[in-house]
Chain A
Amino acid sequence: MLFGTNPFFRWSYITSNWSQIQADLVQHIELSLIAVAIGTAISIPLAVLAWRYRIIRAPVFGVASALYIIPSLALFAILGPITGFVASYTTAEIALVGYTLLILIWNTVAGLDAVPADAREAATALGYSRSAALVRVDLPLALPYIFAGLRVATATVIGLVTVTALIGLGGLGQQITYGFNIGYNTPIIVGLVLSVALAAVADLLLVGAERLVVPWARTRRAKAVS
């Protein structure tokens, strides 16, 4: 045993390992940010296509569901031989992006479906073409749903990044596996608490961004509450 006793939490661990914790935190943010960004860039166009052309809806949701159902650890192991190296950013990111697709596509399609027919008719009456209406009417009105999806996807990814520690990456997951390997509580708790805090901060930022981008949603929500 490295440490004579194993208290529930030892502050000195944080001060003496601060640079490593910081590096893990940065890697965690990097892995999550890239996954959500790529996931969004893929999902929104796919969702628009799936919404407009019913015929591709089933295959798009089928593939996204299949990726969502495969356990993360298994997906890393399956992708490893394909990308060439298991413990690579590519392997981790492909898998992480895979998990965001279903959530983001699902919510975007639901949001587009929920656009009131009145709004679309008004856009047509004003002379908008179909694609202009998509960009200036449909997608903006779907934003509350898209943001709901982004929030779930971000929280999911931040949690899943810890599992990439088992293929040698992991961000804060490194703290968790380190603590487990030497039977020491503190690193695990550090990983757990920082990961939860990261998810909370990311969620707050997304809520803030939503308020900036979708100001009308706030007034509507306020009305619904009162």
Chain B
Amino acid sequence: MSERLEARAEVVKLARLLSVDETELEFLDGLPSAELRAFREQATNRLFDAGAQMLGRVGSAARLLPSALIATIAQRSFGPLLCARAAGTVDTAKSLDVAKRLPAPFLADVTVFLDPRRVAAIIAEVPAALVVPVARELGARGEHVTMGRFLAYVPDHAIVAAIGALEDETMLRTAFVLEHKDRLDHAVGLLPPDRMPGILRCAADAGLWPEALDLLDHLSEERRGPIADLVADQDEEIIAGLVRAVSEQGIWDGLLPVVRTMSGESRTRLATLPAFHDPAVMTEIIRAAAEQGLWQDLVPLIEALPGDVLETVPRIAAELEPELLSKVVADAAAAPQTLPPLVLDAVTHAAERHGLTHILEQEAQ
């Protein structure tokens, strides 16, 4: 869902690394984000390697000097870029002692240029007292991409501290551009329970439903279920906004799994809301399920729909184009128990009408 934005974020990071305006790298737009990231890491290695010998000596010299003096030299001579390059050459205790003496805006500047892979040992030891002001500064500057590069390296106590310092909107935007999204489930587990309702309200108020759904998409089913219930618990207007946003962005693959993982009670509440009863919306949902193989995610929603809306579903399913229908028929034949009987009947009749019964027969064998 977020590939285009992830690729965009990679171009921004590469432009920053090479000190060029991002418009100069517009020709990279549309390339796969994973390959852009691989190239950025290669370029990062080249730049760090280029000055490695001299930076290593700077690190050795730093051992001879008191931290307060290094902090002065860092600000007045080295500046943020060179401090970021040199940070990995100074031992952890010294680095942290120097960092404590630097103002948060300067540390935030350094953080922008840091390669977290090279300062992982320092990040692992960073105290909450340092994390909070720097996270707050980065959040205020909208440095979501920078913060997103660090989560995989930050210890739990620092994540908790940063969560306390960051606003809901900043957290949503940072989660969206995170480099190691496999860490999201763990990080969300560190959120105080009372934060999540505010984050969902923020998604509604700031038009960040795609970001919120992407976040939920990266959670384990166990973690997502209770949050999905909170989604269902929102006011009718908020749900209508969610459905509108999902429809506009065509991201039913983000919402349907959320609906599937909520409790039956929550799903029934959601399914009775008029936002899901618009025939155009139902058509979009069924098409998306057919195109993207989302029947498993769709069925719980269909089964929770009120009777009069449920009756429209077979007609919509039967009107799918033959190629989509053949996909649904194959899915249905492979696992007929996943389709509600009404829909299965409609699909079977439509398959007969379009001469697709051979697919059903093949799958039955």
Pairing of A with B: no
Q: Interface of B with A (CB < 8 Å)?
A: none
